[in-house]
Amino acid sequence: MSDDPHDGLPPLLKTPLLRISKLSRCFDSGTVNALNSATFDVGRGEFVAIMGPSGSGKSTLLNLLGGLDLPTSGEIDFDGQSFSQLKDIDHFRAKTLGFVFQSFHLLPTLTALENVQIPMFEGALGRKERTARALELLTLVGLSHRFHHLPHKLSTGERQRVAIARALANKPQLLLADEPTGNLDCAMSSSVMDVFERLHREHGLTLIVVTHDSEVGARAERVITLRDGRVVASGAPKRVPVPCDS
């Protein structure tokens, strides 16, 4: 038997985009282990759901993967480069990662088109290029009829799709989503997950979604399960999504 822990895995996982090795995060002077020696890979173009009960370490893990927090110990390698060796983590985050949260964080006085352009203001694109890019992204998430609407004129599902479009503004290699359907009803949740699936299937985007919802997890290629800060399982989702009641 081979000693290579990656032997026998699909080719996608033999060249991971993201490699997590013995990652831990402690709080309260080490008395609380929110994450304990997590180790796994995420392949380029893979769609992974991270699941587990409340307090299992899901959001802590996502914050570490997004460079929003620092681990107590362990390593995160992105495309062969260690997070610990990055000279400017903020620049890396802005250019390489996209984030979608349960709360949409849209600016209420800006239209959908203007909200999507916000991440582009620090880049080299001119006004016309920014607008064209935002139009393209809103069309991609099915909001070509909502370009000029303010957030309060949009449904909650539409607001989340604007947030997804904004997360894609700088063409990230990895999209991280923390409970992206947590504020949505079944039908809206399904429509948002349709967008994630299309981004993965048609555009090859690497996705990591934290969720407590087994129906959301069933949309992923692989589910990583956390319990008490530890990875306790990793494999194909077991449940088939159930359609919303009509």
Q: pLDDT (tens digit, 9 = 90+) per residue, 39-66?
A: 999 999 999 999 999 889 999 999 999 9
What is the maximal distance between C-alpha atoms in the chain?
Answer: 61
Q: Tokens representing 150?
A: 């303010």
Asked if 180 contacts 160 with a C-beta cutoff of 8 angstroms, the reply is: yes
Cα R_g (the chain), whole angstroms: 18
* pLDDT over 50 at 2, yes or no: no
Given a cut of 80, whether residue 222 has pLDDT beyond it is: yes
Per-chain mean pLDDT for the chain: 89
CA 123: distance to chain centroid?
A: 22
pTM: 0.89
Q: Pick 121 or 225 by higher pLDDT.
A: 225
- 168-193 confidence digits (pLDDT tens): 999 999 999 999 998 898 999 999 99
Query: How do residues 94-145 score in pLDDT, each as one tens digit?
Result: 889 999 998 889 999 999 999 999 999 887 788 899 999 999 999 999 999 9
Q: Do 203 and 197 meet the contact criterion of CB atoms below 8 Å apart?
A: no
pLDDT score recorded for residue 66? 94
Give 29 or 177, the one with higher predicted confidence: 177
DSSP code of 85? G
Domain ranges of the chain: 108-168
239 pLDDT higher than 70: no
Binning pLDDT at 50, 70 and 90, where does residue 199 land? very high
Burial class of residue 161 (count of CB atoms within 10 Å of its CB; 0-12, 13-18, 19+): buried
